[in-house]
Amino acid sequence: MPTFIAEKPHTLAPIAIPRATSPSGHILTVENLTVSFDGFKAVDNLSLSIAEKELRVIIGPNGAGKTTLLDMICGKTKPSSGSIRFRGIELTHLPEFKIVRKGVGRKFQTPSIYEDLTVAENLEISLPEAHGIWASIFFKRTQHVKEIIENVAQEIMLADQLRTKSGKLSHGQKQWLEIGMLLTQGPDLLLLDEPVAGMSPREREQTAELLKKIALGKSLVVIEHDMDFVKSIANKVTVLHQGKLLSEGSVDQVQNDPRVIEVYLGH
């Protein structure tokens, strides 16, 4: 960790205070989104909207375009056509780091924590104030920074593990740490790709509680295959199939939709 010299005001709060709300009440609006890879449309003319503080789950068979959709929202993949607006701001032309700064956080399937660093250190390096060479040199571990780290650690159920090397955590705890690393960045929209893959039943329950708590102040889009987990968290489910929107509604509605049963749930 760098040594600390100067103090600068901290703007970050562990639970972000919602910024300007778009007139529609939607934090994210995707319209006519398409991406082609060598002529193959992985996402095909897709439109959907996510409300403020909504916890949306995206399901669908393998290859349906779920991960590619998240890749386009976070700027990792550029669409061939269509629009993605976050609080009215068009994201499709922005590089990934600017999309993060606008308030969109993405967690990939495999945890990308630093196993040789402690839980506290992993959370610290995720603070926007610690990013970049100069920022990291002048970064100061103020009381406020400590409070942010402690609050986030509490939220992700790792308050007793702050000094533990992250490599020693269980698989589930590593996933929670990575969610914590997103939270320290203060996003208003979190994109999570299969957050409970490989977790024990107890860890799944705890993760469901964690996500529901996060959704009290932020919007979440979660890709998930485990229908029991989907039932335990979702307000609304979007079903993708061959890059297109197949069905959308409550868990009950999509579970009873014959098209969904045919291509996904019936298998």
Ligand X SMILES: Nc1ncnc2c1ncn2[C@@H]1O[C@H](COP(=O)(O)OP(=O)(O)OP(=O)(O)O)[C@@H](O)[C@H]1O
In the complex, the residues that contact ligand X under the rule CB under 6 A are 37, 42, 60, 62-68
Query: Smallest distance, Å, CB 32 to ligand X?
Result: 18
- What does the block give as tokens for 78? 């550029």
Query: Smallest distance, Å, CB 128 to ligand X?
Result: 29
Query: Smallest distance, Å, CB 246 to ligand X?
Result: 12
What is the residue type of 182? Answer: L
Query: Please, which residue, 68 or 166, has the CB nearer to ligand X?
Result: 68
Query: Please, which residue, 37 or 228, has the CB nearer to ligand X?
Result: 37
Radius of gyration of the chain (CA): 19
Query: Please, which residue, 188 or 224, has the CB nearer to ligand X?
Result: 224
Q: How far apart are CA 262 and CA 258, in angstroms?
A: 6
Query: Please, which residue, 62 or 143, has the CB nearer to ligand X?
Result: 62
Q: How far apart are CA 110 and CA 108, in angstroms?
A: 6
Query: Smallest distance, Å, CB 133 to ligand X?
Result: 31
Q: For 258, what's the count of Cα atoms within 13 Å in the CB-facing half-sphere? A: 0
Query: Smallest distance, Å, CB 102 to ligand X?
Result: 23
Q: How far apart are CA 90 and CA 176, in angstroms?
A: 30
Query: Please, which residue, 65 or 105, has the CB nearer to ligand X?
Result: 65
Task: Give the closest residue to 101 by CA, choosing from 119, 116, 86.
Answer: 86
